[in-house]
Structure 1
Amino acid sequence: MYLEPMEKTLFLDAGNTRIKAAELLPGRTATGHDDRQDTVPPWRIHKLPEYVSPDFETALRQLCLTFDRIVLSSVRKHFQMEELKRLLTAGGEASHAGILAITRSVLTPGRHRYRTPETLGIDRYLACLGAWTLGSGAVIVSDAGTACTIDAMDAGGVYRGGVIMPGLHMLIEALGHGADGLFTVSVGLPEAWPPDSTTSALQAGTAGTFVASWEAHVKRTRERFPDARIWLTGGDADFLMHNSSLEVRSNNNLVFEGMRYWLDHLLPKEKKGS
């Protein structure tokens, strides 16, 4: 069945350095959890400048002018719904789009088993939720960004927790600047073993450690969820895909998939008070 959206909706995933923006293209297959698909619905990604850019506010405002509804998920403390409202009503031509914000209120007890939900980044939950809607059974989702997260959601759609570890570039920068005589290196793994140059030694100690640590955490998580599919997203997903021995899938729109599921299925329940 095909569903044409009644309202043109923009999804905003506000991270620490920039906002990712996407719209779901018309003609996508509308599915619930019981009739899910492995195919990935088509998203149109809109590129925006970083927060620090002088063009950021104008670019975001101009983009939002073309939409009826905006769904916001933010892990940035200073970019929540009120800041978005202020930005959209500033300037000569204001956007009057309706704004829906996904907050930690979605983390009702039946949807997670995390001891400190008040500190959980909502993007971690949404990425797991998005992966869960694209397959069947439990999922392990890793967002390989500035920090690298590895999270699990069980077959019932309950978020179970995960790992936060340094990202690949964080490791490279920390080691390169952390000791005299060392330097930052490009991302890569040494061809010879043991590494026969300082550059390859640093690559082994950073990129090699990153891959080995990541695999160890994923394997330990999979001991709890042996049938879980492993999903990758984030800037260093391709590097892990090509250098890991594990069978993984990659999808950079997992947070948007989770936001879409929240809009279609969880928000109506919240409005009903269930």
Structure 2
Amino acid sequence: MDQRVIAIDAGNSRIKIGLLDQHAPPGARPTCHADLFIPLGDAVPFERLAEWVEESSVPVVQVLMSGSNPPVIDELAALCRNHPLPEPYLLTRKLPLEIDVERPKKVGMDRLLNAIGVNAARPEGEPAIIVSCGTACTVDLINPEGTFCGGSILPGFEMSARALHHYTALLPEIPVEELHAAPKNGLGKRTRTALQSGLFWGQVGAVRELTKKLKTLLQKSTDTPPTVYLTGGGAPLLAPQFPEAILEPHLTLYGIVIAAEHQHG
């Protein structure tokens, strides 16, 4: 019987919510039928989620929750129970993923869920690099066997902009929306455009260098080049600079649904 679930990813800057198929065919990711992206601190429209349940052509059987912000996850689970929604289920760290790092339990759930989402439709034997650009930007490596091998963490667009403003006396805070206007040649003629340039091209340059290093590392063990995936709130801003990459806005939500299916046995 076809069924759907609501997946909620609570991050440090925003909450991502999707209505997805509970199952996907082998080699595919669950179809996402509707989504919401809510800035952290804004009210979650639970009434809209209830409408998803009521209007869905197939039963919506569960609300799945995870992410990198545990206090918000707990708060959302409690609020969820006050609305006509299925019982929430909070993911554990029992995940369908091999993890090759020094302290696996310390790796952020969002990074691991992204890897699970990639693996669901990754061609056999093909490595991957996942760039997730949110509050923090992570650049992670998935080897040809599908193992999460670690990566790099750096400040995202918004965190960098806030830090420059907060730790200086005169520099203004640059909204992320302004970075589309960053000088294409990198040359800012005013403080504001200089900040736009540094924030935007600094992030692009860091991601480009880190992906280059991971590609070089992979060349020691495989002749198959990696596919680069972009996800997170800042991914659409990065995407034009990485035309070879695949933009996957729902990657974490896919990982939540696949991990929940694994945990339910």
Q: TM-score, normalising length from structure 2?
A: 0.79
Equivalent residue, structure 2, for 1:68: 61
SS in 2 for 1:106: coil
- Paired with 2:79 and 2:5, the residues of 1 have a C-alpha distance of 18
Structure 1 residue 48 displacement after superposition: 6.6
- Paired with 2:147 and 2:198, the residues of 1 have a C-alpha distance of 36
Q: Which moved more, 1:14-23 or 1:152-161?
A: 14-23
Structure 1 residue 101 displacement after superposition: 2.6
Matched, 1:119 2:111: no
Equivalent residue, structure 2, for 1:208: 201
- Paired with 1:152 and 1:13, the residues of 2 have a C-alpha distance of 21
- Paired with 1:13 and 1:51, the residues of 2 have a C-alpha distance of 11
Equivalent residue, structure 2, for 1:239: 237
8 Å Cα contact 1:49-1:59 kept in structure 2: no
Matched, 1:229 2:227: yes
Per-residue Cα deviation, 1:212-237 (whole angstroms, up to 9, x for no partner): 11111111112223421100011221
8 Å Cα contact 2:4-2:61 kept in structure 1: yes
Cα gap change, 1:200 to 1:151, in 2 (>3 Å): same
- Paired with 1:194 and 1:123, the residues of 2 have a C-alpha distance of 35
Structure 1 residue 56 displacement after superposition: 3.1
Gaps of 5+ in 2: 55-59, 220-224
Equivalent residue, structure 1, for 2:222: none
Per-residue Cα deviation, 1:227-272 (whole angstroms, up to 9, x for no partner): 211000112212211124x6211010111222233244x335xx4x
SS in 2 for 1:105: coil
- Paired with 2:40 and 2:192, the residues of 1 have a C-alpha distance of 34
8 Å Cα contact 2:5-2:20 kept in structure 1: yes
Equivalent residue, structure 2, for 1:31: 25
* Among candidates 194, 201, 212, match of residue 219 of structure 1: 212
Per-residue Cα deviation, 1:4-26 (whole angstroms, up to 9, x for no partner): 52x33222212224432212259
8 Å Cα contact 2:46-2:80 kept in structure 1: no
- Paired with 1:46 and 1:234, the residues of 2 have a C-alpha distance of 14
Matched, 1:139 2:131: no
- Paired with 1:121 and 1:174, the residues of 2 have a C-alpha distance of 22
8 Å Cα contact 2:91-2:260 kept in structure 1: no
Q: TM-score, normalising length from structure 1?
A: 0.77
Cα gap change, 1:209 to 1:44, in 2 (>3 Å): same
* Among candidates 30, 47, 57, match of residue 36 of structure 2: 47
Aligned residue-pair number: 249
SS in 2 for 1:13: strand
Cα gap change, 1:192 to 1:124, in 2 (>3 Å): closer
Equivalent residue, structure 2, for 1:182: 171
**Counterpart AA for 2:206:** S
SS in 2 for 1:47: strand
* Among candidates 246, 250, 253, match of residue 247 of structure 2: 250
Matched, 1:151 2:143: no
Per-residue Cα deviation, 1:137-156 (whole angstroms, up to 9, x for no partner): 21111111111111111122
Cα gap change, 1:172 to 1:17, in 2 (>3 Å): closer
Q: Which moved more, 1:221-230 or 1:232-241?
A: 221-230
* Percent of aligned pairs sharing the same letter: 23
Cα gap change, 1:64 to 1:120, in 2 (>3 Å): farther
8 Å Cα contact 2:10-2:72 kept in structure 1: yes
Cα gap change, 1:207 to 1:62, in 2 (>3 Å): same
8 Å Cα contact 2:5-2:21 kept in structure 1: no
